[in-house]
Structure 1
Amino acid sequence: MAMTGVLRPGHAQVRVLDLEEGIKFYRDVMGLVETGRDEHGRVYFKCWDERDHSSYIIREADQAGIDFFGFKVLDEATLDQLEADLQAYGIETRRMPAGDLLETGERVRFTLPSGHEMELYATKTACGNGMSMVNPAPWYDESEKGIAPLRLDHALLYGPNIAEVKKIFTDVLGFFLVERVIGEDGESEAAIWLSCSHKVHDIAFAEYPEPGKLHHCSFLMESWEKVLRAGDIMSMNDVAVDIGPTRHGITRGCTIYAWDPSGNRFETFMGGYQPYPDYEPLTWTFDNFAQGLDYPQRKLHETFLTVVS
């Protein structure tokens, strides 16, 4: 499909309870590349195979969770048009100045009915992935430090009013619905998976009474073997694991869920299929949600539904 409009997930800013502990975890255990620190006390990271300056930002706070999640758009004209479209839909937007985030241009920020702060931006300094743009190698030595995911892949966010959230993403931002879970009432959607590309999802939402909650940020691994290696590294470093290694029925992805030292859940993920906008969304009934979550065990893990940050 042609890549226009919203291109991909670009960054997440996450709160940690102890900054130095968070730096050590994301740098040494996750194997992210530190790319900068700013006057506000934020520390910037990227995955090794990402080319833009940063995708994962942490700051110290009294409560864990997510400050905002951002998507990169095609260009400045697209950013202006999407801002106008959001305003025409009735959504208030705010312009965040260039440089407010290191090496990042102006951002358009808005609040979803689920209580989450969302951003769009068009420019971020490219710093490369450590390899030449001419005759590059397939990987480099730094890419094997820690878990070393390829990229920030998606996020799952918990909050209320996801029916209205879906309208904003599909009617205004150009996403399409890939999969959904029908609620216990047999009618409403309890969870939705949305894509702006040919990935199986770029963001997902689940209905939850408290607004603005983070379920997880997901990092893409190259293979199932790399997911299993990530599990080994988690055990070597006493990382608290939630679910996995296993496969989802929903998205067909292979996964491990775990928590950082502050209680923010993250996912090491690979696989899935490649949908297109003309595909009919796949539907999971609530009585089969357990298989959608953990296909081999068909187990609906309580922590998956109740533990958020």
Structure 2
Amino acid sequence: MAITGVMRAGHAQLRVLDIQVSRKFYRDVIGLVETGEDAQGRVYFKAWDERDHNSIVLRQADSAGVDFVGYRVLDAASLDQFERDLNARGVATRRIPAGEMLETGERLRFTLPSGHEFELFAEKAHVGNGLGLKNPPPWGPDAEHGMAPVRFDHCLLYGPNVAAVKALFTEVLGFRLVERILGPVEAGEPEVGIFLSCSNKTHDIAFVEHPNPGKLHHVSFRLNSWERVQRASDIMGMNRVPIDMGPTRHGVTRGETIYAWDPSGNRFETFAGGYEPYPDWEPITWTFDEFGHGLDYPTGTLHESFLGVVS
């Protein structure tokens, strides 16, 4: 499958309440690799198997949440074309100069109908995964540090106007609808949750309808197997990390998962499994009455905190 245009999740900037506590948590408990600190005091991380300089950026703030998320596009020509297409759609864009984030090129930022700040970029310094490109071993020492995710995988964002978000992503940014969650029958079964892919992953980003704009439900870190998810649960227990849900399996996406909280109250996910939806994939629909199994397949439980708590 040729992946052009928008290729993958690139980074998320999270607001944290204590930068030093959060730095230690993301480095030593989640197991990300720290790659720098800028003049603003932001701290940069990558997952051990990512080659780009950064994927998670932490900023000291008075409230938890997400400042923006960024996705990498194929090249500078793609970035320019997306700007033209967005402007033709009536979406205002602005350019963030190269270097405003460490080792990151110029970014194209715009506001989604859900109230989230979203950006595209084509250039970020490659720092590698420490294994080299010639006869590499399958893993190195960073692969056993903390939970040791292999990559920043996706975000789930809460906000209004999911239908308009879907139209923008599918008609302008080239994403495909992979799964959807319908609302109650009495409300006309609107799409209240959408899972969108720009690759052959189950989702590269997801949105759920919520009255308040710009909310973060979770950032997700990819692990290689269900066994590694279970290992992550042990690490959470040893470090007294509060768990929201799991370990369990979703019906939606078939993902194997744990949701937990960072020290600031931002939810994160450790995620494995899923399927591979190619371009001829027909979207899966979950009805409201069966969504308990979509969320937590073994028990069918609609976890109140999972559904209602955002940052």
User: What range describes the TM-score normalised by the shorter chain of this pair?
Assistant: over 0.9
Query: 2:193 aligns to what?
Result: 191
Structure 1 residue 187 displacement after superposition? 2.5
Alpha-carbon distance in structure 1 between the residues aligned to 2:286 and 2:306: 17
Alpha-carbon distance in structure 1 between the residues aligned to 2:95 and 2:237: 43
Structure 1 residue 143 displacement after superposition? 1.4
Structure 1 residue 280 displacement after superposition? 1.3
- Runs of 4+ more than 2 Å apart: none
Structure 1 residue 293 displacement after superposition? 0.2
Correspondence list, 1:24-173, <5 A: 24-173=24-173
Q: Tell me the C-alpha RMSD between the 2 structures.
A: 0.5
Gapped regions of structure 1 (runs ≥ 5): none
SS at match of 1:251: helix
Alpha-carbon distance in structure 2 between the residues aligned to 1:87 and 1:180: 28
Alpha-carbon distance in structure 1 between the residues aligned to 2:37 and 2:122: 21
Residues 168-190 of structure 1 show CA distances to partners (whole Å, capped at 9, x for unaligned) of: 00000000000000011242101
Choose the corresponding residue for 2:217, options 215, 218, 223. Answer: 215
SS at match of 1:70: strand
Gapped regions of structure 2 (runs ≥ 5): none
Structure 1 residue 305 displacement after superposition? 1.1
Note if contact 1:221-1:227 (Cα within 8 Å) is conserved in structure 2.
yes
SS at match of 2:109: strand
One-letter amino acid matched to 1:264: N
One-letter amino acid matched to 2:259: Y
Query: 1:232 aligns to what?
Result: 234
Query: 2:251 aligns to what?
Result: 249
Residues 214-247 of structure 1 show CA distances to partners (whole Å, capped at 9, x for unaligned) of: 0000000011000000000000000000000000
Structure 1 residue 209 displacement after superposition? 0.3
SS at match of 2:252: coil
Note if contact 1:186-1:285 (Cα within 8 Å) is conserved in structure 2.
no
Structure 1 residue 277 displacement after superposition? 2.3
Query: 2:295 aligns to what?
Result: 293
Query: 2:309 aligns to what?
Result: 307
Structure 1 residue 255 displacement after superposition? 0.1
Alpha-carbon distance in structure 2 between the residues aligned to 1:213 and 1:251: 22
Structure 1 residue 278 displacement after superposition? 1.9
Note if contact 1:153-1:202 (Cα within 8 Å) is conserved in structure 2.
yes
Correspondence list, 1:263-302, <5 A: 263-302=265-304
Q: TM-score, normalising length from structure 2?
A: 0.99
One-letter amino acid matched to 2:87: Q
Note if contact 1:9-1:70 (Cα within 8 Å) is conserved in structure 2.
yes
Choose the corresponding residue for 2:203, options 197, 201, 208. Answer: 201
Query: 1:4 aligns to what?
Result: 4
Residues 225-283 of structure 1 show CA distances to partners (whole Å, capped at 9, x for unaligned) of: 00000000000000000000000000000000000000000000000000022211100
Residues 64-103 of structure 1 show CA distances to partners (whole Å, capped at 9, x for unaligned) of: 0000000000000000001110110110001000000000
Alpha-carbon distance in structure 2 between the residues aligned to 1:180 and 1:62: 34
SS at match of 2:227: helix
Deviates more, 1:99-108 or 1:274-283: 274-283
One-letter amino acid matched to 1:116: H
Alignment coverage as a number of residue pairs? 309
Alpha-carbon distance in structure 2 between the residues aligned to 1:278 and 1:211: 33
Alpha-carbon distance in structure 1 between the residues aligned to 2:309 and 2:53: 31
Alpha-carbon distance in structure 2 between the residues aligned to 1:92 and 1:57: 25
Alpha-carbon distance in structure 1 between the residues aligned to 2:2 and 2:141: 34
Alpha-carbon distance in structure 2 between the residues aligned to 1:142 and 1:301: 34
